[in-house]
Chains A and B, each alone.
Chain A
Amino acid sequence: MLELKHIGYTVTDGDKPIDILNDINLTVDERFVAITGPNGGGKSTLAKIVAGILPPTSGQILLDGEDITHLSITERAKKGVSFAFQQPVRFKGITVHDLLSLAAGKPMSVSEACSYLSEVGLCAKDYIHREVNASLSGGELKRIEIATVMIRGTKLSIFDEPEAGIDLWSFQNLIQVFENMHEKKGGSILIISHQERILKIADKIVVVANGTVSDIGTPDVILPKMLNQSGPCSALTDKLK
């Protein structure tokens, strides 16, 4: 179980402090929790704070009751936090097989790698010896990134906008991946997404806007509210009239 208590994150622009996150309180105990909300609302910052990539300015992070607020990225990873980047990193010379083995923490056999790659819709035969470099497309990298998190199978898996940069056809398969993961995998999935189809399968939706949790609840409560929102401000709607 992940608990966030009064998490704040402030940066300074010159002398002026800017609150990116302000007093976030959240518990992730369910199997599948989705965070959504407008761009620039602080979702990715929150995910990075949980993974240890950014240090919170205030507040406390607990994993299964243990305070991990001041642990490094590596220590949190070892305690069971995994993080799939919104923009996966490229490595010259490191092959898909190498990266999957690093994720598994041990040399991985081709057949094991194959089973994970096929779950994200990639054929191991075509990919296993490829370098994780610029020769792979954004969608391919994204699926490999998702596979690295699946392999770890930790108690908390965070996905930062897995649908970003994926074409429509691949997106259909991606939904399937998360549906399968929802059924099979132990531990909790925390996923940042704008996609209704991903939000729909969540046990809980957390809406983060302007650096705070603005709403929280099950999809049947949250989704209708989001879809019925007034939409763009009057400056835009007036022009469209």
Chain B
Amino acid sequence: MDTIEKTLLEAVADLHSVPEGAYNIRANGELSGRSTTANIDIVTKTDKPGIDIRIKPGTKGESVHIPVIISQSGLTELVYNDFFIGDDADVTIVAGCGIHNSGDDESRHDGVHSFFVGKNAKVRYVEKHYGDGDGNGKRVMNPHTVIVLEEGASMELETTQIKGVDSTKRVTNATLADSASLVIREKLMTHGDQFAETDFTVDLNGEDCSANVISRSVAKDRSKQRFLSRINGNNRCAGHTECDAILMDDASVCAIPEITANHLEASLIHEAAIGKIAGEQLTKLMTLGLTEQEAEEQIINGFLK
């Protein structure tokens, strides 16, 4: 692995070398390393590009890393990763995609991730997107996430895209059975002429299931963001969606929350706020000796932390 690839790996997975436990590293469209454990198996799909990750019931405290890195300009790929998480398991899955594009052609990674989470299992899924490189070629990522939570299952999804991705369309569809719970935290920063679209659909089908979808974003320069969050309450359930965006320069942000209650006992809330950094926040930090620019950085760093 060369320096560029190592930098990408560090940016998307906080990894300095090969991780502990199970992992599958995909570099420039090919398998670059894989490790399985007694409880976690990773198998290459035979019918289409991608892998199946099978986690045995009752697996506790283990993690799976599946970073994808692209440093070859002009490479485009569509990958299917399916996760089968056994009943009562408690695992962390770290995915991420880093693209370094120093050429003129578009580099693109479209990943379809499906999670089938068994009864009472707990999953923490962390996903980071990062792009760099000084070429004119665009860095594009379109992740599609499908989540199926069985009875009592819970999943926390943290997704971060802070830098360097020119265009992204993120689609997430989740269905929840009885007593299942889902928390989605999205952090997004766009700059230059970037475009980012987020589209969440959550079907709260089970009794006493709950979902919380939280997005915090910063839009700089001439970038554009579009946030759609759709929650359907089809049973006695609780749903909350929140979009909080800081707008800067000539950027634009569109937030479209949509909540639908199809059951009398469905309790659904949506909140959305878009605005520039409050002047008094800048003033306060300037009275502590920070310059206006430093104050702005601190406010944004805190907001996206």
Contact = CB atoms under 8 A, between A and B. Distances in A.
A203 interface: no
A74 B290 contact: yes
A93 B281 contact: no
Interface residues of B, number: 22
Interface string A83-105: 10100110111110010001101
Greatest chain A CB density within 10 A among B283, B287, B298, B301 is at: B287
A36 to B, nearest CB: 22
A93 B287 contact: no
Contacts of A78: 289
Contact of A93 (B280, B283, B302): B302
A105 B284 contact: no
Interface in B262-283: 278, 280-281, 283
Describe B's contact surface by its main secondary structure. Answer: helix
B304 interface: yes
Contact of B288 (A92, A93, A102): A102
A45 interface: no
Contact of B302 (A77, A82, A89, A91): A91
B299 interface: yes
A102 B298 contact: yes
A51 interface: yes
Greatest chain B CB density within 10 A among A74, A85, A88 is at: A74
Interface in B285-305: 285-292, 298-299, 301-305
Contacts of B52: none
A53 B299 CA distance: 19
Given A92-B244, A94-B302, A102 B285 contact: yes
Given A53-B283, A85-B284, A93 B289 contact: no
Contacts of B289: 74, 77-78, 105, 152
A89 B281 contact: yes
A73 B283 CA distance: 8
A193 interface: no
B288 A91 contact: no
Interface string A55-94: 0000000000000000011100110011101001101111
A212 interface: no
Contacts of A98: 298, 302
B292 A74 contact: yes
Interface string B69-89: 000000000000000000000
A72 B286 contact: yes
Contact of A77 (B216, B287, B304): B287
Contacts of B290: 74, 102
Interface of B: 216, 244, 278, 280-281, 283-292, 298-299, 301-305
Interface of A: 51, 53, 72-74, 77-78, 81-83, 85, 88-89, 91-95, 98, 102-103, 105, 148, 152
7 contacts: A53-B283, A77-B286, A77-B287, A77-B288, A85-B280, A92-B216, A98-B298
